[in-house]
Structure 1
């Protein structure tokens, strides 16, 4: 969730326009427009307000009209901040409602398993978020509410996110099996030249679990129509937000940078021969039909099984995280200021890290210790490798935010067989995790009892 940069009343009006497809516009407009009198001077007839209505029943709980309106406001705000074109209103509502149904089913299952996030744990999580934004809890709360996000609602969203994460860890992460033969095969493959990374966008048209031939044909037809629109020059991000059933749909299907070793083999095969900007054909998997867009390629650093000696780097950093409060521009500007202070010998790196870094290493002056190749994300590793001992990088972007990096020293070290196998296990786990998560979400959605009540909501 990214905080709004425009007044909340503008979001209310935008949400009212977007909600027409499910009969939501009448209520939102009625709430935003004051009562009026006729031009003749006689009082107008009393305005009739519709009560909140049920849009869907999920097992034994309901999703209401107002809940969807609230979610529309938040997601529309975020997509605009990320410059993602909004889907047509009806499809936007459908995507949001399906996401809410899936979230509700996850939260219900989490409660069945006894997964609870008590207020003490929640308070600590919220306090950490405030601390990462260099604010007191009171300042953070005031900022949220000034930007139109009630603090109580923010707390509950964080509680729900933590619950769903713990549920996925229980149901997916902890059940991934990696055999010794898989590790052996991975290490054998690493003996050949590898290390390609892909920046990808993704559309998934999901098929139900145990789908009939007719259902599969219908979903294939839908996927083919999406692919036709993409090939005709359609905006991939907008089409992902409109049609994709993946959890990344409302971020335009952005998968970021992925090492080929951490992608399903089906995806790697489909990317073979594609040039930057091109789109794959339909990719059939057990979860449905996928479409990939290749946004970029680059070489990645990997640890080779054939090598017994690798270079280690002792490094420290200052991290400014990008979140609801701190924009990418804010983070980059702050680090640029800190870099200037370092260049002018006006401050010590470790002192600035303790004061400004949003990382647990801040208490150690930003010291990350000795780093092996592959221990960090590729963006960080490339910048680190380009530095000489003592040098400080320019602000570097990674999935965690923006960094200033300083290399302290380097050395050669032997890679033990045990560490090689550990690295292999981590890579195999990441390769399996996305597909396993999507498969689990599909099964959870298919098992849920869902009843739509659009007619009642009009």
Structure 2
């Protein structure tokens, strides 16, 4: 409602200016996404950004009207995910955002002041840049919660995966690009026929030598369409099973026939491939036995609040002799709370980097300061360490991770399709 009021106010101001100074173009709505709108100026700004990005990548630009349509679809999908984040009280506070922006500046080897000046020289507003980073972080958190966090890999699936030689760890790696023609939930035979005809047309154009990345940017319904559909380097066991089988016999530059999955139709190109290195699973690894207390942030618990609570709990353990396990049972928001925060024996790579780096720096019996991860704020207690011969367990762990990643891509595409099909989206034509 506030946005619509602001838009009406802007229109009124523009009308007054027009009366005094001559004709002025008034911003207009190009799409309605549930209760929000996307304006012509929003779309133009994003098209300009994507155009610069594709030009830097050397990706041939689609026709202007095709690119604009693709960008609008991406904006609609982003808006739907951000709306879900807002509805479920998922947010990125300013402290977390500042850290993320700081890491981007560090990656570019610039101080924050230098980074800000560099953005402004490129015509990028500092406030808008921060908001875009915040939105990207929200999109990642939404995917982690709605998709990745719900993927289950059973022991039977792991055993079956390891029983097949073609799934051996360390096999070939592929640099792939793809085009997805997404089918709506419960698509009718007529809808599928139209979608297949579209895929056939694009496949024919690929066969005639049109640039794959340009066609991906023009027609793909995948989130990575505007980067030319590139999936980056992945080992075969981490590819969706449909892709892994289809590209196994292809050489760099070759393209699969049209593939059919639950998500729709796919065309996949092998950009490059290389022989996989040995899986390198060591015969022995160091394991850590640890406990933790997790405080999650929310609309009512800020980062500062969560950190302060953990500082108080740490003080009670260090100075007051309180039991860490008892405090974890009462205060931790993790499933391990019922076990006094006990995480058992942890392998390298089992936890997120922020948690693992802090844990690895502690000695047995040592308690950390509060540390932040994507899940919230943690207090970590290292109880013991050992070196174990765990090669078979590590192979199972690597297989479980590979299956999880393989399932994640497929589940994400399916979730996006359902999100889009449930939404109210209205396109506004130029003459309205």
Name the structure 2 match of 1:216.
192
Structure 2 residue 56 is matched with structure 1 residue 67:
no
Provide the secondary structure at the position in 1 that maps to 2:255. coil
Distance (Å, rounded) in 2 between the aligned partners of 1:372 and 1:145:
41
Number of equivalences: 316
Could you report, residue by residue, the CA deviation over 1:343-367 in whole angstroms, capped at 9, with x for unpaired residues? Answer: xxxxxxxxxxxxxxxxxxxxxxxxx
- Structure 1 equivalent of residue 258 of structure 2: 282
Q: How many angstroms does 1:433 deviate by?
A: 1.1
Q: Secondary structure at the match of 1:293?
A: strand
Deviation at 1:189, TM superposition (A): 2.4
Worse-superposed segment, 169-178 or 139-148: 139-148
Write out aligned runs for 1:66-105 (5 A).
66-105=41-80
Q: Distance in 2 between matches of 1:267 and 1:192?
A: 13
Partner of 1:156, secondary structure, is helix
2:174 corresponds, among 182, 187, 198, to 198
Structure 2 residue 110 is matched with structure 1 residue 135: yes
Written as runs of structure 1 = structure 2, the 5 A alignment for 1:355-370 is none
Equivalent-residue separation in structure 2 for 1:58 and 1:94 (angstroms) = 15
Contact 2:162 2:168 in 1 (8 A): no
Length-normalised TM-score, structure 1: 0.65
1:234 and 2:243 matched: no
Q: 1:432, CA displacement in angstroms? A: 1.1
Query: Where do 5+ consecutive residues of structure 2 fail to align?
Result: 1-19, 287-346, 350-386
Q: Deviations over 1:118-158 (max 9, x none)?
A: 22222222223223333222221111111111000001001
User: CA 1:192–1:128 in 2, change beyond 3 Å: closer, same or farther?
Assistant: closer
Deviation for aligned residue 1:175: 0.5
> Structure 1 residues 162, 444: closer, same or farther in 2, change over 3 A?
same
Q: Does 2:108 align with 1:108?
A: no
Aligned equivalent of 2:133, options 158, 165, 171 = 158
Give the secondary-structure state (helix, strand or coil) at the position aligned to 2:75.
helix
Q: How far apart in 2 are the matches of 1:109 and 1:372?
A: 34
**Is residue 212–residue 228 contact of structure 2 (8 Å, CA) maintained in 1?**
yes
- The 1-side partners of 2:167 and 2:265 are apart by 31
**3-state DSSP class of the match of 1:268?**
helix
- From the superposition, tell whether residues 191 and 270 of structure 1 become closer, same or farther in structure 2 (CA, over 3 Å): closer
1:74 deviation in Å?
A: 0.8
Please tell me the root mean square deviation across aligned C-alpha atoms, in Å: 2.6
**Equivalent of residue 248 in structure 1, options 203, 210, 224:** 224
- C-alpha spacing 1:133/1:297, structure 2 compared with 1 (3 Å): closer
Which of 396, 411, 414 is the equivalent residue of 1:436?
Answer: 411
Deviations 1:232-289 (A, max 9, x none): 1111111111111111111111112221101122112222432321111110000010
Alignment of 1:283-322 (within 5 A): 283-303=259-279, 309=283
2:284, 2:391 within 8 Å by CA — same for their partners in 1?
no
TM norm structure 2: 0.69
